[in-house]
Amino acid sequence: MLTSETPERGIAYRAGGLALFIAAGVILTALAFEHLGGYAPCPLCLMQRYAYYAAIPLLFVAMALVSEMPRVAALLFFIVALAFLGNAGLGVYHAGAEWKFWPGPATCGTAQALPTSAADLLSGLQQTHVVRCDEAAWTFAGLSMAGWNVVASLIIFALAGKAALQSASARD
């Protein structure tokens, strides 16, 4: 039997739905830049995608549980909020490396495998395009993709946090 809808559950559902919509839109945009626009992601860019890959199914499940299991939904929303707070921090680190505020990771822009011969070295140099973590491949309104990820991550953090609080305060 379905429980009655409380205002808190409705707010949690809408906030979670908006977070899900934004997360899906951001990751689809990143994948479009990569596969349609030809922008190869650097290692830090790929790391920033993990939160989205985990959050999309978690948000979907949390939204499905808001009415029947609001405490479990609150926990899932809280996990997503924490993931995006961490993702915002990673985005700040990446954007700071792009702006040369601090150095990027040691693995940024380096080849993954060492050549075993001179022929391998020459072949690798001709076929390898190094993607650097400390250079912005694209900017809009003064922000790189990493900078826009910070903005999106903070919005998703706020929405998931609101959904968590509303779900937790829903009366059974």
Contacts of 155 (CB under 8 A, 6+ apart): 22
Q: Which of 37-51, 89-103, 117-131, 147-161 has the lowest mean pLDDT?
A: 117-131
pTM for the structure as a whole: 0.79
Positive or negative torsion for Cα 48, 54, 60, 62:
negative
Residues 129-139: tens digit of each pLDDT: 556 666 666 66
Give the SS3 label for residue 144. Answer: strand
- Quote the CA–CA distance of 38 and 31 in Å, as a whole number: 10
| 7-103+116-169 is a CATH 1.20.1550 domain | yes
- What residue spans define the domains of the chain? 7-103+116-169
- Quote the CA–CA distance of 84 and 28 in Å, as a whole number: 17
